[in-house]
Amino acid sequence: MSDMNHEPASFAFTAETLEKAKAFIAKYPAGRQQSAVMPLLDLAQRQEGWVSRAAMEVIAEMLDMAPIRVEEVATFYTMYNRKPVGTFHVQVCTNLPCMLRGSDDVVAAAKEALGVDFGDMTADGKFTLSEVECLGACVNAPMMQINDDYYEDLDAASTKAVLEAFKRGETPKPGPQNGRQFSCPKGGATSLTELTFEGGKA
């Protein structure tokens, strides 16, 4: 839940985001504009870094819905931040598949590397560490999301390496951190090795 101290008095979409918001609303038939609540919350978050109460009220007004309905959506999804986050928002999944594949180690490593607990921001305002629900990358579990990128197939060491790289100002390559290509088997293909995409044999 939000910390009231952060809440700004007002919110307004910039001209540019407002155009995007209108485009989202226009996608839905008249009277069904409430369907645009999730993209609009995302736009507000991309503009401000988080979703404030003022922003939810602006969105509620735009979509002709009760503010509480917007808040329900914003608090249901972990992807919406209800308080300001650091430059890098580190979101570690701890749902079942990730947990079975060792997310506990990832969590411990992240906490150690950043020196903060879940829900907290580092003193320099660079990182916020969050525990989130399934992000749909179970095939590469365990994983974490940093801003818009997924870092997958983690263990304690690679978690630390990724975070240290961010600290140095680098942007590590997203995706599996253990050498896998996407979600191919580790160590390369084990079947259909002779086929090419062109249809012939390799």
Partner 1 sequence: MPKLTIDGREIEVEAGTTIIQAADQLGIEIPRFCYHERLAIAGNCRMCLVEVEKMPKPVASCAQPVGEGMVVKTNTAGVRKARQGVMEFLLLNHPLDCPICDQGGECDLQDQAVAYGSDKGRCQEGKRAVPDKDYGPLVQTMMTRCIQCTRCVRFIAEIAGTPVLGGLGRGEHLEITRYVGAAVSSELSGNLIDLCPVGALTNKPASYTYRSWELKKTESIDAMDALGSSIRLDTRGNEVIRVLPRVNEDVNEEWLSDRSRFAVDGLKRQRLDRPYVRKDGKLVAVTWNEAFAVIAAKVKAAGTKIAVIAGDQADAEAMIAYKDLLASLGSQAIDCRQDGAKLDGSVRASYLFNSTVAGIEQADALLMIGTNPRKESPVLNARIRKRWQKGGFKAARIGHKGDLTFKYEHLGDDASVLKALVDGKHPFFETLKNAAKPALIIGQGALSRPDGAVLLGLARKLADATGMVKDGWNGFNVLHTAAARVGGLDLGFVPGQGWRDVDHIADAAHKGDIAVVFLLGADEVEMKSLGEAFVVYQGSHGDAGAHRADVILPGAAYTEKSATYVNLEGRAQQTRLAVFPPGEAKEDWRIVRALSDVLGKPLPYDSLKAVRERLAKASPVFAAIGQVTTAAWGASFGAEGSAGDGALVTNIDNFYQTDPISRASKTMAECTAAFGGGCNHKHKKTGTNG
Q: What residues line the site for partner 1 (CB under 8 A)? A: 1, 4, 53, 66-69, 71-72, 75-77, 133
Measured distance CA(94)–CA(176) in Å, rounded: 17
Taking the least distance from each CB to partner 1, the nearer of 54 and 156 is: 54
Residue with smaller CB distance to partner 1, 75 or 122: 75
Cβ at position 98, least distance to partner 1 in Å: 16
Q: How far is the CB of 65 from partner 1 (least distance, A)?
A: 8
Nearest-approach distance from CB 26 to partner 1, in angstroms: 23
Provide the 8-state DSSP code for 185. Answer: P
Specify which residues 129 forms β-bridges with: 90
Distance (Å, whole) CA 62 – CA 25: 9
| Residues 130/169, Cβ–Cβ less than 8 Å | no
Under 8 Å between Cβ of 83 and 4: no
144-146 and 175-176 beta bridge pairing: unpaired
Instruction: Output 97 or 174, the one with its CB closest to partner 1.
Output: 97
Q: Closer to partner 1 by CB, 65 or 161: give it.
A: 65
CB of 48 to partner 1, least distance (A): 18
